[in-house]
Amino acid sequence: MDALIIVFVTGLISMFIAMAKKPVLVLATAMIGLSSALALMINQWWTGTGFIQLNYEGLLFDKPSILYSSLAISFVLLIIAGGYSYFKQEVEHTGEYISLLIFSLVGAMCMIAFTDLFMFFLGLEILSIPIYVMVGSKKRDILSTEASLKYFFTGSLATGILLFGTAWVYGATGSFKINEISAAILDGSAKGALLNVGILIMMAAFLFKVGAAPFHFWSPDVYGGAPTIVTGFMAAVVKLAGLFAFLKLFTFTFWGAYPLWSGALFGIIILTVIVGNLSALAQTRFKRMLAFSSIANAGYALIAIMNQSNWSTWNLWMYIYGYGFAIIALIIISLLVNDENDSIEGFRGVGRKNPFIGFVLTVSLLSLAGVPPLAGFFGKYMVFAAAFKQYPVLVITAIATSGIGMVYYLRFFMTAMAKEENESTVEKLKPSILQTIVLLICAIALLIGGYIAY
Amino acid sequence: MVLGSIFNAGVSIEYYIVLSTILFVIGAIGVMVRRNAIILLMCIELMLNAVNLLMVAFSTYFGKADGQIFVFFIMVVAAAEATVGLSILVMAYRNIRTTDVGLFNKLKG
């Protein structure tokens, strides 16, 4: 709870300190605040209690919540540090960019730690509304505006659908608390028809938010039009919060109705991994490719939610760990390359211009493709291995499509490592010190992923 | 569940469920088929209000206050969302000079 308060206060302070028109102050505030929140989270992990004990039962930072919140805070730290060179371009807006990202993180943490549907709904909205604004933050850019409008309409449609589902579940069980809902479903006192409709409607809204396949149509447009750093935030933090809330709500709360939603989810996962990977093959723009890759990745992560293992929380965490760090590294490299058309061809020769960036790019792409010593492999392995006994067809489809995924990751890798035709015009890519540190942290996190997994 | 009556007026909960479902579906279809962004915003409000109606009905049916409190949260969030949505719309109008969502098609391909 104390970490949540610290994160919120950090957001407030960095918003107001921006009036001094010194971007570096905002950065320092954000870094210090988020690092101390992370430290508090780690402290709470070891001691079991936070410094502030509030007698409020809507939020509970138990061990899984701490694990996921720490990961979310680390992602936001890396994104703010890596995107600082972009944020400071417009001095008068630096504070807004950074504080909106932090407020969004507050929402993500509420979504991770919720124990009743009040906090879940509020967290979802606190997460989403700042992102609607951030997506449109390039005010004069037509693409950014369009992306923002599309994200707003699909997002609020999903909110409406989610609330409708919540109302039906409330009507069936008479409670918003997830303990009481799950107890009511298990002992059969919930009313069948109302409950089934409610659960299916809520699932549709969730699939909208995480961008799974029949509901994914908005995501390539929005990812493609948003400013690069916001794309990274959506791909890493929003997916993390959405998937964990999905896990908590379905695998734990709606456990009694498992036969109902697992069948629907089964088909959706197969559709998602196929559509995501096949569409990513055809893309020529980097951010659109990333969007389809994140759709496919959401499909793999949903497998962790499907299976009945006690370890699914940990498996999903490991999966998002490998995926998130790789995405953040790629996004920051794309920010450095700064190709106007955002085309994959713009990355030609990046690895040769700067060997360090080439190394980080290699590590993150191989991790996304799922090559053994890296974190992405362990995430995939754990998720697939846990589900294999129960759903062999699902896992085989997922493995086959991740083979397709390897094609476009490696094609991108070949482009980035290719020799430039006219070497004389090549100018060196110069990451700032902060960006170097961030890229280094991402690469290390991906390399040591295997040790964390055991 | 058919047995419950609301406000002692003999209106059973089913009618509320049917009414709010109809309102919700009208709103959802409106979001999908209409092209004017302002009307889209209104349709989303209609959907949220259908949810509010359902929540209040269930809340009275169970004799608990939490559903009504949820409705206050929904109202607040709907207001925040409408604010952000309208400002995004104003920004879009400045750039493209239209509120027709069908004309926002630069991101394809």
B89 to chain A: closest CA residue:
A149
Q: Is A122–B84 a contact, with Cβ atoms under 8 angstroms apart?
A: no
Residues A95 and A88: beta-carbon distance below 8 Å: no
Residues 6 or more apart in contact with residue B51 via CB below 8 angstroms: A160, A163, A164, A166, A167, B20, B24, B74
**d(Cα B43, Cα B25) in Å, to the nearest integer?**
10
DSSP bridge partners of A59? A114
Pick from A142, A163, A174: which is nearest to B62 by CB? A174
Stretch 317-336 of chain A: residues touching chain B, C-beta under 8 Å: none
Q: Is B92–A149 a contact, with Cβ atoms under 8 angstroms apart?
A: yes
Residues A274 and A397: beta-carbon distance below 8 Å: yes
Chain A residues close to B64, C-beta within 8 Å: 174
DSSP conformational letter for A285: B
The model's confidence at residue B2, banded by pLDDT at 50, 70 and 90, is very low
**Tokens 């919720």 map to which residue?**
A114
Region class of A175: left (phi > 0), else alpha (psi between -120 and 50), else beta: beta
Residues A429 and A347: beta-carbon distance below 8 Å: no
**pLDDT, tens digit, 9 for 90 and up, residues B46-75:** 999 999 999 999 999 999 889 999 999 999
Stretch 13-32 of chain B: residues touching chain A, C-beta under 8 Å: 13, 17, 20, 24, 27-28, 31
Handedness of CA A134, A136, A141, A144 (dihedral sign): positive
**d(Cα B109, Cα A63) in Å, to the nearest integer?**
43
Residues B49 and B24: beta-carbon distance below 8 Å: no
Amino acid identity of A179? N
Is A373 buried (19+), middle (13-18) or exposed (0-12) by CB count in 10 A?
Answer: middle
User: Percentage of residues in chain B with pLDDT exceeding 70?
Assistant: 89
Specify the pLDDT at position A330: 92
Specify the pLDDT at position A426: 53
Q: Is A149–B47 a contact, with Cβ atoms under 8 angstroms apart?
A: no
**d(Cα A129, Cα A127) in Å, to the nearest integer?**
6
Task: Indicate yes or no: pTM above 0.95.
Answer: no
**Tokens 């549907």 map to which residue?**
A117
Instruction: Rounding to the nearest 10 degrees, give the CA dihedral for residues B69, A176, A202, A305.
Output: 140
Is A318 buried (19+), middle (13-18) or exposed (0-12) by CB count in 10 A?
Answer: buried
**d(Cα B45, Cα B39) in Å, to the nearest integer?**
10
Regarding predicted confidence, which is higher, B33 or A419? B33
Number of H helices, E strands in chain B: 3, 2
Specify the pLDDT at position A193: 84
**d(Cα A382, Cα A55) in Å, to the nearest integer?**
37
Containing B11, the helix (H) or strand (E) segment is strand B11-12
Specify the pLDDT at position A422: 57
Rounded to whole angstroms, what are the CA distances from A276 to A1, A273, A366, A389, A402?
A: 37, 5, 18, 25, 10
**Residue closest to A310 by CA, chosen among A268, A255, A261, A259:** A255
Query: Rg of chain B over CA atoms, in angstroms?
Result: 18
Specify the pLDDT at position A321: 92
Rounded to whole angstroms, what are the CA distances from A259 to A176, A242, A252, A264?
A: 22, 22, 14, 9
Specify the pLDDT at position A270: 92
Q: Is A164–B50 a contact, with Cβ atoms under 8 angstroms apart?
A: yes
Q: Is B44–A150 a contact, with Cβ atoms under 8 angstroms apart?
A: no
Specify the pLDDT at position A423: 55
Strand, helix or coil for residue A59: strand
- The total of other beta-carbon atoms located within 10 Å of residue A270's CB is 17
For residue B60, the number of C-alpha atoms closer than 13 Å in the C-beta half-sphere is 16
Pick from A132, A141, A157: which is nearest to B84 by CB? A132
User: Residue B109 above 60 pLDDT?
Assistant: no
**Residue closest to B28 by CA, chosen among B52, B50, B57, B2:** B50
**Residue closest to A416 by CA, chosen among A326, A355, A341, A340:** A355
How many angstroms separate the most distant Cα atoms in chain B?
Answer: 58
- Sorted by where each begins, the domain ranges of chain B are 2-107
For domain B2-107, the question of CATH label 3.30.420.10 is answered with: no
b/e A12-49 (16+ beta carbons within 10 angstroms → b): ebbbebbeeeebebbbebbbebbeebbebbebbeeeee
Region class of A14: left (phi > 0), else alpha (psi between -120 and 50), else beta: alpha
The two three-digit tokens of residue A235, written as one number: 């791909």
A145 to chain B: closest CA residue:
B92
Residues A82 and A328: beta-carbon distance below 8 Å: yes
DSSP bridge partners of B5? B12
The full DSSP string for A233-256 is HIIIIIHHHHHHHHIIIIIIITGG
**How close A282 comes to chain B (CA, Å)?**
10
The model's confidence at residue B84, banded by pLDDT at 50, 70 and 90, is very high
Stretch 153-212 of chain A: residues touching chain B, C-beta under 8 Å: 153, 156-157, 159-161, 163-164, 166-168, 170-171, 174-176, 191, 194
Specify the pLDDT at position A348: 82
Per-residue pLDDT averaged across B81-90, rounded? 92
Residues 6 or more apart in contact with residue A433 via CB below 8 angstroms: none
Specify the pLDDT at position B6: 47
Q: Is B107–A168 a contact, with Cβ atoms under 8 angstroms apart?
A: no
**pLDDT, tens digit, 9 for 90 and up, residues A183-199:** 988 888 777 788 999 99
Residues of chain A with pLDDT below 50 are: 424-425
Number of H helices, E strands in chain A: 20, 0
